[in-house]
Amino acid sequence: MSHLPAPSSDRSDAPTATLARPLRQLALQAAAVLAVLSLAWPYYGVRGEELPWPQTAFAIGAVALLLATLSHQPWWWRILHAVFAPLAWGVALLQIDPGWFLLASMLLLLVYRGALSGQIPLYFSSRETVHALAALTHGYHDLRFLDLGAGIGSIVQPLAAARPDASFTGVENAPATWLAGRVRTLATANCSWRWGDLWRTDLAAYNVVYAFLSPTPMAALWEKVGREMRPGSLFISNSFAVPGVAATQEIDVDDCRHTRLYCYRV
């Protein structure tokens, strides 16, 4: 619909870009397990001794750390790889019923579905950000505001309550957060709370689109903005700039997170 500068393909500014490759991390850990077990099992088997699990777990951690270092993983991934097997062994000692782990992962999925499916975790915009957005959109007389990945409605609910003349929409796809947002926005007539995928949400009907996601989807989201948003409308990204595209305006919010809003006039 409109023509926007193309984002550069350089994603090195994205601190969590490697999260887009969770399978690579899984493969790395599996390689460490295989390497250690393929040596340790025959060795102890031939000697007729039982595998010493604590030492084996620490050896797997050491090999995983080595592989992570050799393949230039970020420092925090190296730590995760080093401690994963020893921690797994430690937790196994607690002899917790596996059903609890299943339950815990199902509950986590209800809240953090976006982290698993699109490297977009859950965290909330601050109250100060709500105030900054209210000030930014103050001059809009026909405000149609969309929050892509709306969490529990931390943005759209207070904005809708403060601007009864405008319309607000939140789209969320994690079941538990969607439900919390649904309850929260029930009494706010000018706030439409939708269950849905942000990638399947048409942006053409909105003149302000807000997103607080992660570095991972920003380039693709920018393409979607360019395809669907109307000229003159505003795209705002909390904290994550579109790679390789200069923002029209940057707003530093005075909150403890030092939020920066990147605003792009389409």
Ligand X SMILES: C[S@@+](CC[C@H](N)C(=O)[O-])C[C@H]1O[C@@H](n2cnc3c(N)ncnc32)[C@H](O)[C@@H]1O
218 is a contact residue toward ligand X (CB under 6 A): no
Question: Cα dihedral angle (178, 233, 131, 175), rounded to 10 degrees?
Answer: 10
149 is a contact residue toward ligand X (CB under 6 A): yes
215 is a contact residue toward ligand X (CB under 6 A): no
HSE-up of 114 (CA within 13 Å, CB side)? Answer: 27
Name residues contacting ligand X, limited to 49-108 (CB under 6 A). none
Q: Which of 197, 223, 251, 260 lies at the binding interface for ligand X (CB under 6 A)?
A: 197
Least distance (Å) between residue 122 CB and ligand X: 4
174 is a contact residue toward ligand X (CB under 6 A): yes
43-51, 146-154, 222-230, 243-251 -> range binding ligand X (CB under 6 A): 146-154
- Residue 58 near residue 85, CB atoms below 8 Å: yes
Structure tokens at 169: 């929409």
Question: Hey, what amino acid is at 14?
Answer: A
Q: Which of 57, 63, 147, 206 lies at the binding interface for ligand X (CB under 6 A)?
A: 147
Structure tokens at 160: 């809708």
Q: Where are the alpha helices (DSSP H) in the chain?
A: 22-46, 53-70, 75-93, 98-118, 127-136, 156-162, 175-185, 218-228
Q: Which of 18, 29, 137, 154 lies at the binding interface for ligand X (CB under 6 A)?
A: 154
243 is a contact residue toward ligand X (CB under 6 A): no
Task: Characterize the bridge pairing of strands 144-148 and 167-172.
Answer: parallel
Phi first, then psi, for residue 226 (nearest 5°) are -60, -35
114 is a contact residue toward ligand X (CB under 6 A): yes
Query: Measured from the CB atom, is 61 or 153 closer to ligand X?
Result: 153
Dist CA 165 CA 155 (whole Å):
16
Q: Which of 61, 132, 172, 234 lies at the binding interface for ligand X (CB under 6 A)?
A: 172
Q: Which of 19, 59, 198, 242 lies at the binding interface for ligand X (CB under 6 A)?
A: 198
Question: Hey, what amino acid is at 20?
Answer: A
How many residues bind to ligand X according to rule CB under 6 A?
24
For the four alpha carbons of 155, 161, 165 and 171, in that order, the dihedral sign comes to positive
120 is a contact residue toward ligand X (CB under 6 A): yes
Query: Measured from the CB atom, is 21 or 90 closer to ligand X?
Result: 21
Task: List interacting residues with ligand X (CB under 6 A).
Answer: 113-114, 118, 120, 122-125, 147, 149-151, 154-155, 171-174, 177, 197-199, 212-213
